[in-house]
Structure formats: structure tokens, C-alpha cells
Amino acid sequence: MLTLLSQWVIQSSIADQEHDSRIVNLAGRQRMLSQKITKISFYLAGEESPSRRKEYLGKLEEALALWERSHAGLLHGDADLDLPGKNSTAVVTLFQSIESAHLAMAAAARDILSAPDDMARLKQAAQRIRDAEPNFLAGMDEIVFRYDAEAKTRVKLVRNLETGLTVLILLVLALEAKFIFAPAVRRLRLDMRTLEAHDAEMETLFSASPTAMFLVDEAALTIIRCNRKAEQLIGCGAEYLQQRPFSDLLDCRHEVNRLFLGQDPHRRCPRGP
């Protein structure tokens, strides 16, 4: 669970950093667009060529639309621009401080677009844009710096959280090793020593038994091993007896031997009289 939580934190951090980068870039672009709107308005005030004026009007309309949409997206969010619109109280306050400048510039730019041939009105609108621009630029500078500072703070927080989770995971692993795995290993070693002791005891009993003993494969009924008494009884070494059919040592004329070998107890043995 801790590993999954750590991965969730990392993935969330990556997603947040992507948003933060996008927000800082668009906030910085707002400054450029405001300067572009100001320059175009003054170009229009001094331009007499109809074709050039038409070109400037198109650029002004395009810049104004993008500027206003980005402003609204930064404030309230815009999925197409990948803007979440989740601003801190400090950022909202900074936006409020430039709202009057933003509205003044937007209204003046729309005046130019609505009456581009009224030169007196156009020049007045251009001047209003120029008067409002410094406040807007100064405010946007603070907003960009604030966005960047908050992004860095979030990155630092995530790093600290990741470090904490890593330490916690290592602590849990250490506790598991001490209280779960270590006792299990000790118990396993104890069980192995007990089994080895039992095996040694059985080996001693098997080898030293005064009774002939054979270890026989249950399925094939072949001799696996035998003790010293069995060797003495049969008169053969253990190497000779190993893997030989146990039936070679039994007289099948006896019913009990035929039962042991899985044969019909009523069948006559070919070696019988």
C-alpha cells in the first residue's frame, strides 16, 4: 500500500508540474500580448495605408481575443488551454489588483475595432491602452513570480513527502524483517535441525538394528538400501542388493509373500513343488 501511495504521489506531482509549467508560460505570454496590443494601437493611429491598417486590425483582433481568453482561463480555468483555474488566495488578489487595467485596455481595444476609421476616437483609445498598460504589466510580473514560487513550493513539498514515504517504507521493511522474517527464519532453522537430528537418529537405528531391514520402493518394489544385518543375512553387499527386485529375496510359494508382492495368493508359484 505504501508503494502504491508513493507512486500516486509521484504521478500526481508530475501532472501538477505540467500544469504549473503551462500556467507560468501563459501568464508570461499575457505580458507579451498586452505589449503587442499597445504597439498595434499606436501603429494604427499613425498608419494611413488602408492595406496596412487592415492588417493591423486583424492582428489587434487576434491578439485581443487570445489575451482575454487567456486572462479568463488563468482566473477560472480553460480545458482547451489546459488551465485548471485553481488559484491561491494570493494569486486571486493579484488578479483583482490588475482588473481595472485589464478592463480599460480591453474596452479601448474594442473601441478601436468598432470604429477603426474614427481617428480621433482611435487615438484616444490608443492612449487609454498606453496609460493602463504599465499597471497591467507590473501586476502580471507579480502574478508570474507568484505562480513560479507556488510551483516550486509544491515541488519541494512533494519531494519531502516522497522522502517521508521512502523512510516509512524502509522502516516498515525493517520491522517486518525483525518481527516477521527473522522469527520465521529462526523457526525454519530450528525445524531443519530437528529434522536432521531425527534423520540421524533413524539412520543410527536403521544401521545398528539387530534385525535385517530393507528400504523398498513402494511402487516398483525394488530395494533402495538395507542395513548391515540384512547384508549378513543375504550374504551380499549393499551395492549388489540396491535396485534389485525385492521379490528375488522372497519365496513366492508362501501365501503371505505373494500377498506382499501383490500377487494372487491362490496362484501356484512356478517354483513350487
pLDDT in tens, 126-137: 999 999 999 999
pLDDT of 272 reads 41
pLDDT of 219 reads 84
Give me the mean pLDDT over the 235-259 stretch.
78
Q: Would the pTM of this model clear 0.75, i.e. be above it?
A: no
Q: Which domains does the chain have, with CATH numbers?
A: 2-176 (1.20.120.1730), 214-260 (no CATH)
pLDDT in tens, 66-109: 999 999 999 999 989 888 888 999 999 999 999 999 999 999 99
Among the residue ranges 13-22, 24-33, 68-77, 259-268, the one predicted with the least confidence is: 259-268
Read off φ and ψ for residue 122, nearest 5 degrees. Answer: -65, -45
pLDDT of 135 reads 96
Scan for cell 536432521, then name that residue: 196
pLDDT of 220 reads 84
